[in-house]
Every structure is written in structure tokens, then in C-alpha cells.
Amino acid sequence: AESLDGTRSSWLGSGQYTLTPSSGIVGLLGVSRESTGLDMLNNTVYRGGLGYYRELFGGLTVLLQPEYAHADYDDITPAFGVERQDDLWRARLRLTNQQWVFKGFSPELTVIYSSRRSNIDLYSYDRNQVQLGFSKLY
């Protein structure tokens, strides 16, 4: 459906502050704009988060990062008679170990819990994700 085609523009800023040689905080702020052919799907999302990381024993690094996002939609959703608004809370736990290296890559395990609450219940959910990936070490 061509009315679903559109663009998404995003701005995301992040920063890191080292507390000790083995720990620190990370922060992010962002905004994104999604435009489609249907005003009820057009939206602006504002997000922010603050996390803490610490290097533990044996090269293991832990990052705990909560994040909040708020989405405002541009027009009323006809089936529900209201303009949609969503609030999303997300908590991310990432484990990495840079001492485990294979051909320049190190493994990452990330567990994410998300809770979206919308003024239209159909769009509300809770979700758990587990991601296994690899990071390139330079």
C-alpha cells in the first residue's frame, strides 16, 4: 500500500563519562519523525536513557541501560476515535567479554525488556528479547 510508504528521520546524541578506569555512565537523547501517506500513522518520538557500565572479573563487562520514549501521532485513528500516544519503557542488560576473541570478534549477549503503554490498548504490550551478537575489536 503506497499510503504506508514514507520517510523516517532521526537524530540521536549519545555521550559517555568515565567514573573510574573500569566504570562509567552513558546517556542518550533523541528524536525521530516518521511521515507516511496517512496522517494517523505520522508520528514524532522523543527518547532518552541513562546507563551504567562496569568491567568485572576476567574481562566481563556489564551495561545496564534503562530508556524511556514517548510517541505522539498526528491524527485521530478512526477506528478508536482518539489520537494515539505511546509510552515505552525499556531496560537493556548487555554482557561482553573482550578476552574471548575469535578472528577479531568478541561475543555479546543482550537481554531487553520493553513495556509499551498506549492510549489505544491494541498497541500496548510487554516484550522480552534475547540477542546474541559479535563486536569487532580494533
pTM (2 decimals)?
0.85
Strand ranges, E, within 21-124:
23-36, 43-55, 60-77, 82-97, 105-118
Residue 27 in contact with residue 53, Cβ under 8 Å? Answer: no
Please report where in the chains the cell 490498548 appears, as a residue.
Answer: 121
Cβ-proximal residues to 22 (8 Å cutoff; 6+ apart), any chain: 54, 55
Per residue in 6-64, pLDDT tens?
999 999 999 999 999 999 999 999 999 999 989 999 999 999 999 999 999 988 999 99
Q: Which CATH class is domain 2-136?
A: mainly beta
Query: Domain segments of the chain: what residues?
Result: 2-136
